[in-house]
Amino acid sequence: MGDQTAEWSDVSGRRVRLATVDDAEILAHHRAAMFRDMGDVDDLGASVIENASADHLKALVESREYFGFLLEENGEVIAGGGVWVRPVLPRPGMLNGALEGYVLNVYTEPGHRRRGLAREVMREILDWCRHRQLARVVLHASKDGRSLYEELGFELSNEYRLKLG
């Protein structure tokens, strides 16, 4: 499913690279900080999510089911996102089954926001998904992220959600 060590650079001195298992703490930090910044958890709750997520993300990266994209500037990770590649059962238009990408953990560090970094990460993710011929890409958008995803061509779907327990 692609080279786990690939990296891309641009003229601004930034680079986007695929995360390795050694980046699990960064991936977990982005996940937890995203929930904290959306107001879903406080600092303590974010810490709990970060600790609980690190081992899961490490295992998913190791199994090549989760591909993290980290944007670095001057050697510091300032933004990122990921795609969890998963099978889709046969359905209309995809009778042979297929793979889809579930985008999650898109996050930009607070001091670097409003510079188009999430857009840059998302473009890399979408190019990567196209190159691997994934059938579709899905995500759940925060209120602040909706306009970006709509600009990138995402459409609102008919998903319902029921929380159990």
Single pTM value for the model: 0.88
Q: Is residue 165 part of a domain?
A: no
Predicted pLDDT of residue 1: 40
> Which residue bears the tokens 């607070």?
110
Tokens of 3: 């080279």
Q: Is residue 158 part of a domain?
A: no
SS3 call for 1? coil
Q: Tell me how far CA of residue 26 lies from CA of 17, 62, 71, 127, in angstroms.
A: 13, 15, 11, 22
Q: Is residue 19 part of a domain?
A: yes
Q: What is the DSSP string of 137-158?
A: EEE---TTTHHHHHHTT-----
Q: Is residue 1 part of a domain?
A: no
CB atoms within 10 A of CB 115: 15
Predicted pLDDT of residue 8: 60
Mean pLDDT by 10 residues, the chain (165 residues): 53 86 97 96 97 97 98 95 93 81 96 95 96 93 91 89 84
Q: Is residue 119 part of a domain?
A: yes
DSSP tag of 163: -
Q: Is residue 2 part of a domain?
A: no
CB atoms within 10 A of CB 151: 10
Domain count, the chain: 1
Q: Is residue 51 part of a domain?
A: yes
Predicted pLDDT of residue 109: 97
Could you tell me the CATH number of the domain that includes residue 80?
A: 3.40.630.30
Q: Is residue 156 part of a domain?
A: no
Predicted pLDDT of residue 38: 94
Asked whether 161 and 140 are in contact (CB, 8 A), the reply is no
* Sequence-ordered list of residues with C-beta below 8 angstroms from that of 62, at least 6 positions apart, any chain: 21
Domain boundaries, position 147: 14-151
Predicted pLDDT of residue 89: 86
